[in-house]
Amino acid sequence: MKTVIPAIDIREGKVVRLTQGDFSKQITYSNDPAAILRQFIEAGALWIHIVNLDGALTGNFRKNLSYPVILDLIKLSKQAGIKIQIGGGIRNIEVTEELINRGTDRIILGTVALDDSKVLKFLFKQYGNKIAIALDCSNRKIRTKGWQFETDLDIFKILSKLESLGIHNFIVTDIMKDGTSTGLDTNLFLELKDKKKPNTRIIASGGIASINDVEKALMCADGVIVGKALYNGNIAINVFGSFLDDLHKSQLVKRIIPCLDVKNGRVVKGIKFKNLRDSGDPVELARHYNNNGADELIFLDISATIEGRKSMLNTIRSVAEEIFIPLTVGGGIKTIEDMTAIIKAGAEKISINSAAIKDPNLITLAAKKFGSQCIVVAIDAKRKGKSWEVYSHSGSKPTGIDVLEWVKIVVDKGAGELLVTSMDRDGTNSGYDLELIRAITDIVSVPVIASGGAGNKEHFIDAINNGAEAVLAASLFHYNRLRIQDLKDFLNSHDIMVRK
């Protein structure tokens, strides 16, 4: 995702801007950096760029008035749930460690990256993606030490040298442009875009004077830092806010949902709906998932008997007591009374399948009573030529209904979410049926949970990229073949927003 990053440069504890890195051309904009940060948070910024100018000038990050101020800003950013990158005189391991331990998401190294590759290699090995290199240049030559020294180093050569060390985050500032509000040197960034490795991320900085400049920068770079224009009124803060809202659209995260098939109080998982295997106690598993990153849990009651169903209510009660993530319950739900009992026992949402096929008006009645957001319609789909057929009764009975026709009907009747299981893929670990997910998400606008076939981390990305709002898996998680936290780290590194 492209990022737009407001900058806060701190000198002697105050918010200032320089022009072309010249400390004699300093304008102080505020004595209250926290208030400035709050303003950017309110505008909807997801990242903040902080520079310790005292540190940049002296090479000592800590021995100045700006250091304690920056620690406060880190705290504030963490509270607000936004990310923070910090630079300016960070030239050793100890300071980097401290800032990262306090919650800094990215450390910007400048001079040290060029002077001392030992330190750089160590830090990169230790912190990987959290390290970014600032390449400050004028006329495509690198400048160092608070921009005081011009070097003969060519920016493109330095870029490829650092890329070969494995580094892929760069902040490129054209200092001839910085603080001048004369627009970005797009040629430089187009050339960088052309020459960089595919997974290298370049954040552009310097000269941004209008929203138009921000848009242009995003076309040739992965992100852009906005400084002076936000302070001198060239970009009004409310205009900036609307721009960010349009850019970000929503920060709803993709959900990872373990599914627990429960029969007579025990969790089982069918391989292609047959050969059930017992994989544990539902309360135990729910607690485990609650503590290990699951965003939601789905319980499917596959008991066939009245006693089994009654014990399910007890299971829901015990699980709801234990966990602080939402619970969806499905399986054998036939009436509004069934739904009321399950919701009262502690479920957030109920999922219906065969009963909706038998009487689609049940969806409408349920949505009217509980609200659409409570009603998930589960669909078991099996390929039939070029289309898919709906199956009922836990996938045992073909209904003759076309899946794409059916999803339109159920959404029309009031379904708030669809849980779509590919029977062809279920239990195969060969990946979700992406065509099915795409076809469905193309025609409805309620969230769709993809189910059936997850076998590795990539499969989840595929489902999400084909329109799924949430991804479900069972055995993969139950047998600990994939840890949810590892999956989330993986999704996060592929630009998919997850809840950490």
Partner 1 sequence: MITIIDYGVGNLRSVQRAIQRHYSEVIISNEEKQIKEAIGIVLPGVGAFGDAVEELKRRGLFNLLKQIIPTKPTLGICLGLQLLLDKSEESPGIEGLGIIPGHVKKLENTKSIRVPHTGWNRVIGIKEPYFSGYAYFNHTYYCDVVDKNMVIAFTLHGKRFGVIFDYGTILAMQFHPEKSKTIGEKILNYWVRSVLKQVSLT
Which residues bind to partner 1, rule: CB under 8 A? 38, 41-42, 44, 79-81, 245, 248-255, 295-296, 317, 320-321, 324-326, 340, 343-349, 367-374, 416-417, 441-442, 445-448, 467, 469-470, 499
Indicate if 154 belongs to the active site.
no
Q: Which lies closer to partner 1 via its Cβ, residue 310 or residue 368?
A: 368
CB 9 within 8 A of CB 51: yes
Phi, psi (degrees; rounded to nearest 5) at 448: -120, 130
> How far apart (Å, rounded) are the C-alpha atoms in residues 145 and 18?
15
Residue 131 bridge partners (DSSP): 107
Q: Which is nearer to partner 1, 73 or 347 (CB)?
A: 347
Cβ–Cβ < 8 Å for 484, 290: no
Smallest separation (angstroms) from partner 1 to the CB of 475: 23
- Whole-angstrom distance, CA of residue 120 vs CA of residue 378: 52
Catalytic-residue membership of 281: no
Based on CB atoms, which residue is closest to partner 1, 33 or 146? 33
In 412-490, DSSP assigns E strands to 417-422, 448-451, 470-473
Question: Hey, is 447 helix, strand or coil?
Answer: coil
Which residues of 82-130 form beta strands (DSSP E)? Answer: 83-87, 106-109
Distance CA 286, CA 202 (A): 42
Q: Which is nearer to partner 1, 131 or 230 (CB)?
A: 230
Question: Is residue 494 within 8 Å of 458, Cβ to Cβ?
Answer: no
338, 380, 426, 433: the catalytic one is 380
Q: How far is the CB of 73 from partner 1 (least distance, A)?
A: 14
Residue 450 and residue 422: Cα distance in Å, rounded?
8
Among the listed residues 54, 222, 261, 338, the single catalytic one is: 261
CA nearest to 65, candidates 7, 8, 134, 15: 15
In angstroms, what is the C-alpha Rg of the chain? Answer: 27
Residue 126 C-beta: closest distance to partner 1, Å? 27
Residue whose CB is less far from partner 1, 165 or 253: 253
Main-chain phi, psi angles of 63, to 5 degrees = -85, 70
Q: Is residue 218 within a helix (H) or strand (E), and if so which, with residue range?
A: helix 211-220
Min. distance of Cβ 397 from partner 1 in angstroms? Answer: 29
Q: Minimum distance from CB of 370 to partner 1 (Å)?
A: 5
Q: Which CB sits closer to partner 1, 35 or 190?
A: 35
Q: Least distance (Å) from partner 1 to the CB of residue 129?
A: 21
Q: Which of the residues are catalytic?
A: 261, 380
